[in-house]
Structure 1
């Protein structure tokens, strides 16, 4: 059975795959529409160019004949007509017209009797007369387009538009005048729109079914209206549509999956911790250190605390381990050091012996960069270095020589060094014999065994006897009951105690000032 998270992921995958498939169809429609429009415009310009070429050659031929000044249909005139007709690319014949009759041509010579012409289909603004598909010209089997100007007639060759007679599949076009009332040539099955409808023939990227393109020549009264049917992605072959849908669905699914993984990664504790350190979101809580001899608050230990973006309190045991495993422990130590010295500055700068204890990783102890960082923070806040105690866990692993040099350097600078978690590490007395510590902190597992029959309880008396012989102050951690407090006071009356019985870790806003601190009863 799917979990709610997995079900949600599959639901998002399905929705985004469907949306991506639709988006792919829209995008595909855009590219297809652009491609179809470009091909349609290219086809239309090609047809128009041929229409202009025919008109241009016809006009040039007429002008050359008029410049000859020959007597119409004379032998010299016919020779010139035949020469011009021979070299023409788009003209089949050239002739003379008088009184609306074709009297001679290069191909047929003098016509006797002359051939009467029907009224022209169109007379342009320049006086050129046009006949479209005139039938029974000279021979009943001949149908031709004729243009006449200044008494000179040109007959368009049937091959002039041969390569357009069978347009590509789905394409059609017509050559027409600008008023849209006289088509010159039509290729394919195109229905001419009314002039007022031409402006509504818009082509958008969503055009489906029929696509149009209309353009005109700048030199002649010739326009082209081209049409492409079955336009749009829905008219593409099924395998093209299926490919677009599958590609869109695959991309959408991949993006959704990658984004979900990225989101999960950002929600993971290592990423959250990295952002918290970057944004200075970690804070320190402060646990009282109480002198049994004076029953007064003489210092605090700074303990890292983190509330993530979801408002959840993350245990230090969890996020410190994450910091160690992901190479962020140095940054974490600096963040807590900075925060603790800043928060405790009002008490560390007073004329008293109040101290601040900070837990350090061994990498920080032996790091010259951290030494310089700690020095800058103390100087910036006006805190004397002997008021800042640095705690080193006995479980630390490092070269004894390197560690000894680093500890001596910190002590020479004025800092006191405390051995944390004494009795639980794998070096034990070797640590005490090798290094010089100002304080030794007895681990809470021994205090927790007071009043029980465990081995640790039996060892607690021996441990207290041992540490009192050291030239170092004794700090007893984990004192949580009055019975434990009384036991420590009896066996080690000059010890410094720390634990919930004497005060839980508190934020700087809830911190009780040393002068207002009241020590709980110890002796029963």
Structure 2
């Protein structure tokens, strides 16, 4: 029988899950509505600019056509003007100007009393514009009059009416310098100009001196139809209930290995041991490779071959890499006061490609007063190493003094063409080829070939897996400048047990 306290906790979990699901549903619905409203405002602004471009195109075309006419305001000229007006879908009238007055138009014919044009509302070298309301004596309303030389064009008053038939927003069409407004369509309902619930979008023409601004009220989720609100509520209950069941089951089930690894990293329970890297002839320790080790609280030893790939699969790779960097620099800090010594840390390309990795490493060496050249990275070849983000971060770190080697070279994806392209600082030859030395295996010739090619490319070479004196003697002959590593030279040990030969 469950305790009352557990029942209360489970009830709270269910209620909280439903409440969060409802909140998330409303928030996501509002986000969708905002996206829809934003797109609508952008489309309307673009359409308004397209309309004013079409009006300008009709006006320019009318000016060119009218220049071919005969005597101004003659019957033939008026017929020509009417033909021009009929062909221009965005113009309501076309007329003639003489001595600053409108003397005839296609719509009204020859005017008995010519209409004097006042100072234009906007003027450029090739055209003048007036609002119809600013020209006394005209019969035009809510439109613009444009003069191009002696030709007058009048834009259609309804040219912008289809932009927002419901008039939910305000549309302004104006010149780029904001000195003249071609059209101002007010919303039917007054908008608060400072309201966060209003979307404003602007766009300008690439061809003419015109821009458009659209202010549109945002659609609130609670303004949706009741059927939609009911669907959101029911969906939230279903999702919240399902989530609460999953959480309760997860709470009572045993934790997976990936969760235990995440917890171990958080609590600092991953140990690091250090295997010496030595001079092949003298045996002098040049540095160490940092190797992570994991023993669970129950005493179970988890092999790195298991938990390192597991970390990559579950997104813990960068965390593990940073953990080993921080711990190795802390534990070897005193030994690394000797600037000739260094430590190598194993990383994956994805770890280095992480956007914050360079800054993290830079800060880590600065805190411990360690030179960047004393921290080297052995890049594992599980995936293709030619990745733009990885290469960018690696090259930036190399410029600061950090070194990069390809680990287990010869058995992964990398090859010498990669080395030539990516400019690694060195390679570590896989133990598979070391074990073939001194044997009749056909692989015995691979290590010397890799060594010679690496030296041609001016790369440092480390040979791992040296397990016997015979192998070491062969390496001294075929790879005299190589750094060596293996149980014959020293096994991995905790930092406090290291001896510098």
Normalising by structure 1, we get a TM-score of 0.47
